Amino acid sequence: MSEDIIIQIDYHPFYDDLLQSFSDKGKKIIYNIVNNNIHLNTQGNISSYIQKYGSLDYLSVVHLSLDLALHIAILKNYNYGFLYFDPADIYIINDDTFIISNLHHCLPIVQSNKLLLDDYSHVYIHNMKFIAPELKDNVFIYDINYNIIFYSLALISIYALNIIHINNISHTKLFFALKRCLRDNIERRIFYYL
């Protein structure tokens, strides 16, 4: 891919669990924690990479999807969920590992797997291209299932492949995983890669 760029991530215990999970999967990531910040080498964010090279290859997008799903699962253990993903916040490490550089798009999860939204949550939606349709309305929703993030996961994956429609990969396992993320019913959205 490209040469390394050092990024700085605000420390949160979530990242300890995430980096340990990467290590458990055999992914070697070199990083340092300095003054409550995580410093690590990356190959840039996926937004810049796609602008420069056009797309990620299929296997890289599978890794991207699996890594984003891992972020979702680990963050849920802290009772937080992502509202949406922004490709400018997703960094490539070692060609096959992806990490989110901030938790700004996270909200607390309250009863029944609902994200706790307030009047200000909608103000922070920067990239309308990668949000679920329920958030595109001008109506303020105050309780929404945390599964809403799976729609964004699918949109990011489709964007990274640089395909016009998901049916372009209909012969793959990723197709079926992303179709589950794009379900109309938020509560039935899930990333399940077989």
Nearest to 95 by CA among 49, 140, 54, 133: 49
State the pLDDT at residue 122. Answer: 52
pLDDT(181) > 60: yes
More confident residue, 4 or 102: 102
Share of the chain above pLDDT 90, in %: 47
Residue 131 DSSP class: S
Q: How far apart are CA 150 and CA 1, in angstroms?
A: 27
Q: Each residue of 20-56: pLDDT tens digit?
A: 898 888 887 878 877 778 888 888 899 999 999 999 9
State the pLDDT at residue 46. Answer: 94
SS3 for 101?
Answer: coil
Q: Pairing mode, if any, of strands 31-34 and 143-145?
A: unpaired
pLDDT(119) > 60: no
DSSP for 32-43, written as a single string: EEETTEEEEEES
Q: Pairing mode, if any, of strands 106-110 and 114-116?
A: antiparallel
More confident residue, 87 or 8: 87
CA-CA-CA-CA torsion sign (72, 122, 152, 64)? negative
Q: How far apart are CA 64 and CA 160, in angstroms?
A: 9
pLDDT(151) > 90: yes
pLDDT(2) > 50: no
Q: How far apart are CA 6 and CA 50, in angstroms?
A: 19
pLDDT(160) > 70: yes
Query: Which ranges of the chain does DSSP label H, i.e. alpha helix?
Result: 13-24, 46-53, 58-77, 133-136, 149-161, 173-181
CATH number for the domain whose boundaries are 44-188: 1.10.510.10
Q: Give the amino acid at 2.
A: S
Mean of all residue pLDDT scores within the chain? 86
pLDDT(155) > 80: yes
State the pLDDT at residue 118. Answer: 64
Share of the chain above pLDDT 70, in %: 89
pLDDT(173) > 90: yes
pLDDT(120) > 60: no
